[in-house]
Structure 1
């Protein structure tokens, strides 16, 4: 069973694409004529020229909006597509779920004629800069340690790569891991946590002590005192990276 068959049912409630991140993704794709979205989920950030979505979870495919590109149920490691099938291939916040990274990247390179765009994160930066996992939920950070893809490994597999930091706005509409960095109460909401694989897969029992401390620190004002500098920022870099590779 695909991971998101079990944890993806609530995605449309909390995972709406953020227009600022969308603009960066679309700019990275450039003036390509067609795009294949691998690990497509519900279709966030797909540009108008998306020709096909590839997604292993039927639960996620069923939640794709009306009018989206056609979706094929398959995995990144075995794309049932011809060589050079599209100008560009994109894979957003998905490589950490793949069972064989080298095989998946090899498939992206085989299918893309011109460009590959991957959105991922640098786990070391994420651990150091993101207060939620650093100060409250080290269990979630430890879980991510087991699945996070080292950026340098991706660079090696892709060949020449341009890296762009993806700054997260304080009012980000896409509720992935660090989206609520300036809205801490959101992480106390089970529905929000259900839409963040890092938290959903770590499990509620493991998260409970840290979430209890966070709730207490919000009541007492301790969190706001500790994060005073953070509260003055509009965007933050906690390690999300856009990798752009050209053939």
Structure 2
């Protein structure tokens, strides 16, 4: 309803920053805490749903997340997994509050073990060397048209 209202009261483009729920599970964290990312994915509308609500001509573009991103969402730590061992860092992402203590404990134990043994770096160490990451964070832009056109994905 909110997106349709944005379109109704706006003459020009409407831009929204969101996560593509179909891509949330592609992040390395899914192997450690799938419950967190499943919770996260269910909180976002599908891109198709957003496109239908906004109408017109639109595009979807991945938003590059810088390596040193200071925001507290999970993908901000794509190349700094140690940060997610800190309960304060996890608390900055509300999805962690929807899972029980057992999930958080299992996550911490597994990630710490994989970091200590080098397993995480064997699988995902290349992320430490990236200056940015394109994950599920996307920018959706819709411009009204006199005739309905389809959205164009850029991700």
Please indicate, yes or no, whether the TM-score normalized by the shorter chain is above 0.5. Answer: yes
Tell me, in whole angstroms, the C-alpha distance in 2 between the residues paired with 1:138 and 1:146: 12
27, 32, 35: which is aligned to 1:139?
Answer: 35
Tell me, in whole angstroms, the C-alpha distance in 2 between the residues paired with 1:200 and 1:188: 15
Aligned partner of 2:50 in structure 1 is 154
Structure 2 regions of 5+ residues with no counterpart? 145-155
Tell me, in whole angstroms, the C-alpha distance in 2 between the residues paired with 1:175 and 1:206: 19
Higher helix share: 2
Deviations 1:119-160 (A, max 9, x none): 1111222212x1012x10011122224323111111111112
Tell me, in whole angstroms, the C-alpha distance in 1 between the residues paired with 2:113 and 2:42: 29
Is the counterpart of residue 242 in structure 1 residue 139 in structure 2?
Answer: yes
Is the counterpart of residue 175 in structure 1 residue 59 in structure 2?
Answer: no
TM-score by structure 2 length? 0.83
Contact 2:15 2:140 survives alignment (8 Å): yes
Task: Kindly state the Cα deviation for residue 239 of structure 1 after the two structures are TM-superposed.
Answer: 1.8
Deviations 1:188-219 (A, max 9, x none): 11111111012222243322212210011112
Aligned partner of 1:28 in structure 2 is none
Is the counterpart of residue 222 in structure 1 residue 124 in structure 2?
Answer: no
Deviations 1:30-83 (A, max 9, x none): xxxxxxxxxxxxxxxxxxxxxxxxxxxxxxxxxxxxxxxxxxxxxxxxxxxxxx
Tell me, in whole angstroms, the C-alpha distance in 2 between the residues paired with 1:113 and 1:212: 51
196, 203, 206: which is aligned to 2:93?
Answer: 196
Aligned partner of 2:23 in structure 1 is 125
Task: Kindly state the Cα deviation for residue 186 of structure 1 after the two structures are TM-superposed.
Answer: 0.8
Aligned partner of 1:75 in structure 2 is none
Aligned partner of 1:211 in structure 2 is 108
Aligned partner of 2:61 in structure 1 is 164
RMSD value, Cα: 1.6
TM-score by structure 1 length? 0.54
Tell me, in whole angstroms, the C-alpha distance in 2 between the residues paired with 1:145 and 1:108: 23
In the alignment of these two chains, the number of paired residues is 143
Contact 1:170 1:235 survives alignment (8 Å): yes
